[in-house]
Chain A
Amino acid sequence: MNDTAGIMTQEWVEVAKVEDIPPLMARVVKTKQGNIGLFHAGDGNFYALENKCPHEGGPLSEGIVHDCRVACPLHNWVIDLKTGEATGPDEGKTRTFEVKVENGAIFLKL
């Protein structure tokens, strides 16, 4: 019931300023839907993923970011920030969220 309501009312929410997240770092946004990792990727863009590794739920925001990927801090799976998919031989996918940047502010579509 709540779920459908949530999806129906998706909207852009401001969550951070660009300078809150230095390049190649990430921060956590706490939401009703759980923690979301907000990443400042190597291409200069910001990406958002559910903060749970498809392997065993490791907090992806704590991993090393390189290019548009993050290496999970627990067992080093490498997750693609654009698609949320595990790369290499690993299989699994983490939910992604849309991000936009306007006037130095970062918005998440929630």
Chain B
Amino acid sequence: MNMHASTPEGARERLVVIGNGMAGVRAVEEILKLDPARYAITVIGDEPYGNYNRILLSPVLAGENTIDDIMLNTPEWYAENGIELIKGVAATRINRPRRQVELADGRSVPYDKLIIATGSKPFILPVPGNDLEGVIGFRDIADVETMLDAARQYEKAVVIGGGLLGLEAANGLMKNGMDVTVVHLMETLMERQLDATAGNMLRASLEERGMKFVMPAKTTELLGDETGRVRAVKLEDGTEIEADLVVMAAGIVPNIQLAKEAGLHCERGIVVNDFLMTFDPRIFAVGECVQHRGVCYGLVAPLYEQARVLANHLAGTGWMTYEGSVTSTKLKVTGIDLFSAGDFLGGDGTEELVMLDEKGGIYKKLVIRDDRIIGAVLYGDTVDGTWYFQLMKDGTDISDIRSKLLFGQAHLGDSGHGGDAAVANLPDEAEICGCNGVCKGEIVSAIKEKGLFTLEDVRAHTKASASCGSCTALVEQLLAHTLGGDYSASPSEKPMCGCTDYTHDQVRAAILEQELKSIPEVMKALEWKTPNGCSSCRPALNYYLLCAWPGEYEDDRASRFINERAHGNIQKDGTYSVVPRMWGGVTTPDELRAIADVAEKYNAREVKVTGGQRIDLFGIAKEDLPNIWRDLNKAGLVSGHAYGKALRTVKTCVGSTWCRFGTQDSTGLGIKLERLTWGSWMPHKFKMAVSGCPRNCAEATIKDFGVVCVDSGYELHVGGNGGIKVRVTDLLTKVETEEEVLEWAGAFIQLYREQARYLERTAPWIERVGLSYVKDILSDEQKRKELYERFLYSQKFAQRDPWQELSEKEDPFFKPVAELV
């Protein structure tokens, strides 16, 4: 019977998915996001449920979660999205000539496009007795139910395989009161993720909890009793270990039977190209059943990457390619912290950084090649796992932080609220997102209960990091810690926002390469998914265009945040603050008088000295802004850009003019720097300072660009940050003259302007690209001069006082459009 016989020709294309698991359904979700109306979708799954989070079967077994907790897509979800779900029925054959999938119950489902997402199967050792009752794998809900059932009736369990899955099974069974022995073929545990040192530490702590190990040992036979149930495991040396339950966790085998029988090219897995297409262009495959560039993956993160690329093609966009993934692993055994990523064994041409504290149970090893991390093993203290993994995926040059690397991100010189590495140790009630008052416990339970995988999911459900975004790193850490190896988004791969699949870097490159010169042009060329973007991508695009086409691009006011639109900081009551520029922190009686006059005239409700050496007038009504600016302009005062992703302040100390220790004219140099750079729009705010001697009264070493004067010249420091996460600057270079200071400052700013991502301050930017990278470019005299030239060119257009422009032309934007009172 043809179930879709009634579907008229020319209607929507029929997309059929075999396998209702994590990868297949993820691909469907991604397609729905891109083009919900394109396909009539049918999902066929042989398990009798909706789609669930297989990863969390381990905590379910250990009693830390319930089956209900781990459901990702309920049958209602399929119905709501118009997807036909055929559950509890296996697909038995793919009939390629007739383009239909045949089912175990005799039905068949026709397709125009087919996705095979059949996952993998536990590898069952080919030994006698492997079909006895009580011998199972660890793969699905049914297996967990069998194990929980056995735990209620029996005492002894043997787990064959000391890998991730085996140990999680053994731990779960032990938690259910069973006496568990792990039989492992190799010398050390989890040899595919851990080196011998970490493997042995892991073994010792599991033994402490009561787990038994027999290893290295080869299973040769499973012995049964008269009822046909397993009673013992027999090893090569003749030993017999009693067992009422045997869990085979000796590996997984991609489930390729259907594909193979249909004549599709398979090796270990179903062979696909970079678009996840099999050798039949109508048939795609995704997930653990796939072999891509010779690799079969067994973790969720790479499968989700595959699903995104596949959806990109099936939804007709078709520009993404899947080029393979680097993976990381965590063991989900509560109380044991272990992390592994990449090439953790190393070899020729690699070196190792190792820290071992046997008594404290801490081991960290980083494998380095060409000054880049290529692998990591952490045991006992894994808080920096995500950081190392990020450095690894970003290919960050670590030569500058080498000596501090093993001590972790917290030792890079930051302190304060943002020590995000410590997030794992925070109590549940610790507030993570200050803007929306979301605490750690709320986020963690939302991740677990709602099955969240991405930052966007967490933002949507909890609001955490959805406002100012400064806690993004903390939320990502929480995702990583809660989901283990499953979460691996790296900023270099993250799309700009929900409106596009392109990353910041890709968008910037496209703007230059395709000479895109307006926001609508960018959105058209890059096929934005929303009609006019959102409050996250529009300001970023506006900046990228402004930076790429100085003098040419016309600023889009509708894409500016209110502060930059109104050239003042909006306050909680809807009034604004006004901060005039005070060059290098120096003022005059005339300026102060003018400020005092406007403060009275426009009823400033407070006058305050800012942390940036200037004066802030608070509580100004929007309608009064142009007037107060006009008055200030008359006294020679211009906008301080205290509201902008732009050059903010240049803090100075008194320097050689007055101070008995001053070595150079720090105040004068600060003023020159500010005159050079004011008005420049940047990816984020930018602060400078000049101190007259190493006593550093202007706090130059926590600024984006800081100058410390010394007898012989000027030390230039970059990448400091005094905000949420304090970071001390790195020394960029030392120069001898003020002219050189100005040139280096301009060149540095231009490099930052051209390369950092929107809302990325210099501190995280430098940590991402590495100081050496910045140093190399700026030390190259020609490159430095070119950058400086480009900076000076763009300043020609940027150095107009916005206050003057707006107050002169009577901008209607500041007034109500009608007053009916």
A-to-B contact residues, CB < 8 Å: 13, 15-16, 20-25, 27-32, 35, 38, 42-43, 56-59, 62-67, 71, 73-76, 78, 88-90, 110
Whether the pair A62, B565 counts as a contact (CB closer than 8 A) is yes
The answer, among B530, B531, B572, for a CB contact under 8 Å with A56, is: B572
Residues in A whose Cβ lies below 8 Å from that of B596: none
Whether the pair A62, B566 counts as a contact (CB closer than 8 A) is yes
- Closest chain-A Cβ to B433's Cβ sits at a distance in Å of 10
Nearest CB to that of A58 among chain B residues?
B574
Whether the pair B816, A28 counts as a contact (CB closer than 8 A) is yes
Known: A66-B530, A73-B570. A32 touches B820 (CB 8 A): yes
Residues in A whose Cβ lies below 8 Å from that of B652: none
- Closest chain-B Cβ to A95's Cβ sits at a distance in Å of 16
Residues in B whose Cβ lies below 8 Å from that of A25: 557-558, 813
Which of B467, B560, B812 lies at the interface centre, i.e. has the most chain A CB atoms within 10 A of its CB?
B467
Known: A62-B570, A74-B572. A20 touches B812 (CB 8 A): yes
**B817 interface contact, C-beta 8 A:** yes
Question: Other CB < 8 Å A-B pairs besides A32-B821, A43-B531, A75-B435, 8 of them?
Answer: A27-B816, A28-B816, A30-B816, A31-B821, A63-B535, A66-B535, A66-B538, A88-B466
Complexed CA–CA distance, A43 and B532 (Å) = 9
Nearest first, the 7 closest Cβ-Cβ pairs linking A and B are A71-B535, A27-B817, A24-B558, A64-B535, A73-B562, A15-B818, A62-B562
User: Can you report 20 residue pairs joining A to B where beta carbons are below 8 Å apart?
Assistant: A15-B818, A20-B817, A22-B557, A29-B819, A30-B818, A30-B820, A30-B821, A42-B531, A57-B574, A58-B574, A63-B535, A64-B559, A64-B561, A65-B558, A71-B534, A74-B570, A74-B572, A75-B467, A89-B461, A110-B820
Residues in A whose Cβ lies below 8 Å from that of B539: 64
Per the 8 Å Cβ criterion, residues 454-468 of B in contact with A are 460-463, 466-467
Whether the pair B820, A15 counts as a contact (CB closer than 8 A) is yes
- Closest chain-A Cβ to B619's Cβ sits at a distance in Å of 15
- Closest chain-A Cβ to B721's Cβ sits at a distance in Å of 23
Chain B: residues with Cβ within 8 Å of the partner, total of 35
Whether the pair A76, B557 counts as a contact (CB closer than 8 A) is no
Residues in A whose Cβ lies below 8 Å from that of B566: 62
Residues in B whose Cβ lies below 8 Å from that of A78: 535
Complexed CA–CA distance, A25 and B532 (Å) = 12
Q: Chain B contact residues: over half helix, strand or loop, or mixed?
A: loop
B-to-A contact residues, CB < 8 Å: 435-436, 460-463, 466-467, 530-535, 538-539, 557-562, 565-566, 570, 572, 574, 812-813, 816-821
Whether the pair B816, A90 counts as a contact (CB closer than 8 A) is no
Complexed CA–CA distance, A66 and B466 (Å) = 17
Residues in B whose Cβ lies below 8 Å from that of A71: 534-535
Whether the pair B535, A59 counts as a contact (CB closer than 8 A) is no
Complexed CA–CA distance, A20 and B818 (Å) = 10
- Closest chain-A Cβ to B533's Cβ sits at a distance in Å of 6
Whether the pair A16, B466 counts as a contact (CB closer than 8 A) is no
Residues in A whose Cβ lies below 8 Å from that of B561: 64, 73
- Closest chain-A Cβ to B496's Cβ sits at a distance in Å of 14
Residues in B whose Cβ lies below 8 Å from that of A88: 460, 463, 466
Residues in B whose Cβ lies below 8 Å from that of A63: 535, 562
Nearest CB to that of A29 among chain B residues?
B818
Nearest CB to that of B436 among chain A residues?
A75
Residues in A whose Cβ lies below 8 Å from that of B534: 64, 66, 71
The answer, among B530, B533, B817, for a CB contact under 8 Å with A15, is: B817
Residues in B whose Cβ lies below 8 Å from that of A38: 817
